[in-house]
Structure 1
Amino acid sequence: MTQPTLEQFLNDVKNHELTIHQNNGVYRHLTFANPNDCDKYFNITTFPNYLVITGDMGALVFSRLHDMFNFFRSDDLKINPDYWAEKIQSASYQGKIESYSEFDTDEVKRCAQEYLDDFLEQNMLSELDKEELLEEFDSEILHSEDEYEIVEAIRNFDCHGFDFEEFWKGDYRKYRYHYIWLCYAIVWGIKKFDEVSHNG
């Protein structure tokens, strides 16, 4: 699934309304929801040094500043997924990574193809060997369906002098759709809250 654009996010929340359950300094509890259904509703809760977002699109906990609204506030709804991911709180390092990113099988296949193309440019193989290598690559690598299959296939691949010994130096993960959506939800939610607070 590709990542949501700001436009897609804004379309998802176009009928959302803000309900303020608590607003006491940095202690806040806000709900953003369409009054007619609960699709893609979300809550933002803050207390000193923490912001928690929960709801239909998942849950994340961030920690950085005493007032986390000051950390995330963006009037033009710009997000910073790289930096913000560092501030996610989780039970483990692996859990933290899994909360915002996922293995990108398509990217691995694309890079594996480049890796193979480079090898073929630098090594003179007979037509028969080249054909066998391409067939093996196609069936083992390009037809892998998930992370476990393709990791195993790459780890064990060895055909006519071609293997993936140096391959895993790259980063083959991408942001989860829900993570990017929640990043937009935070900046949009804070902006809505600010508008109500300043007009109230």
Structure 2
Amino acid sequence: MTHPTALPVVPDRTAISRDRFAEATAGHQMTVLHDDGLYRHLRFRNPNRGEYWYDLITAPGTLTITGDMGDFLFRRVEDMFDFFGRRSATINGHYWAQKVIAGTPHEFDADVYKQNLTQEFFDVIDGLSHADRDDLWEAIEWQLFTAESAESAHIAMSEWDDSRMPLEDSFEIEVTSLSTTFLWCCWAIVTGIATYTDAQRR
């Protein structure tokens, strides 16, 4: 077994979720269920099938997205359509996640976890022989990379006791990222707001 010589690539979840959203909602239409100032209830759904529908609901200071791909409640400014942008073509997932007051925007990301541990490995191998490097990497794969959740990853790192790669500050090693579900909902929000804004201008 040989050790890696480059960091593993972490997939671009923002781009992946954008493409999945566009494909899943290509036939969606907007229905305005309520529209009274800052009180809005908009539904987006394909009239020919029920999958991937979602609602946007606003009240002063809040926006809720609910539907097939998850539920999130945001709080920031009086009119949340202004917060997300009336005609935005991009999302700001990391910042928007800070404004979530209900829902879980992050999830365990094995790719991020493995990339960060690989960086820890690279930081210590200069003083190791090739045999030690391979042996250390084998231990990492067997003892750390088997984690399947954020909790099990942190437990594995806390139990790690190989002095060749100390993990005293393992709690600082990132093991999560924004979930594809949350990012999908972010794309749904900006697309829904843009659709509503365009309809208002007609």
- TM-score over 0.5 for the pair: yes
Q: Which residue of 2 aligns with 1:93?
A: none
What does residue 4 of structure 2 align with?
A: none
1:88-108 deviation per Cα after TM superposition (whole angstroms, max 9, x unaligned):
123xxxxx6xx1111222222
1:19 deviates by 0.7
What RMSD in Å do the two structures reach over aligned CA positions?
A: 2.3
Superposed CA offset, 1:165-188 (max 9, x none): 133323332111111111111111
- For residues 72 and 162 of structure 1, the distance between their equivalents in structure 2, rounded to whole angstroms, comes to 43
What is the aligned counterpart of 2:113 among 108, 113, 116?
Answer: 108
The one of the two structures with greater contact order (alpha-carbon pairs below 8 A, sep at least 6) is 2
Structure of greater Rg:
1
Measured after TM superposition, the shift of residue 5 of structure 1 is 4.2
Write the letter of the residue equivalent to 1:133. Answer: L
- 1:35 pairs, out of 29, 37, 47, with 47
Give the corresponding residue for 1:119.
124
Deviation at 1:154, TM superposition (A): 1.6
- TM-score normalised by L of structure 1: 0.83
Q: CA offsets per residue over residues 17-42 of structure 1, 9 Å max, x none?
A: 11111111111111000011111100
Q: Find the aligned partners of 2:173 and 2:136 in 1 and give their Cα distance.
A: 23
Match of 1:15 among 3, 14, 27: 27
Identity value in percent? 28
CA distances 1:71-127 after superposition (whole Å, capped 9, x unpaired): 11242421111221122123xxxxx6xx11112222222222221232221x34594
Does residue 1:159 correspond to 2:171, yes or no?
no
Change in Cα spacing, 1:86 to 1:30, as seen in structure 2 (3 Å) is same
> Which amino acid in structure 2 is aligned with residue 191 of structure 1?
A
State the partner residue of 1:61.
73
Distance in 2, Cα, partners of 1:105 & 1:81: 19
Could you list the runs of 5+ residues in structure 1 that have no partner in the other structure?
Answer: 91-95
Identify which range, 71-80 or 183-192, moves more after superposition: 71-80
2:155 is paired with a residue whose SS is helix
The aligned residue for residue 85 of structure 1 is 97
Q: What one-letter code is carried by the residue in structure 1 that aligns with 2:196? A: F
Q: Which amino acid aligns with 2:150?
A: E
Kept in 1: contact 2:116–2:174 (CA 8 A)? no
SS at match of 1:89: strand
1:6 aligned residue? 18
Give the count of matched residue pairs.
190
C-alpha contact 2:150 2:176 (8 A) present in aligned 1? no
After TM superposition, the structure 1 stretch with the greater mean CA deviation from structure 2, 152-161 or 8-17, is: 152-161
Q: Which residue of 1 aligns with 2:196?
A: 193
Per the normalisation by structure 2, the TM-score is 0.82
Partner of 2:7: none
| 2:153–2:175 contact (8 Å) kept in structure 1 | no
Distance 1:158 1:124, change over 3 A: same
- Distance in 2 of aligned mates of 1:131 and 1:77: 46
Deviation at 1:130, TM superposition (A): 5.0
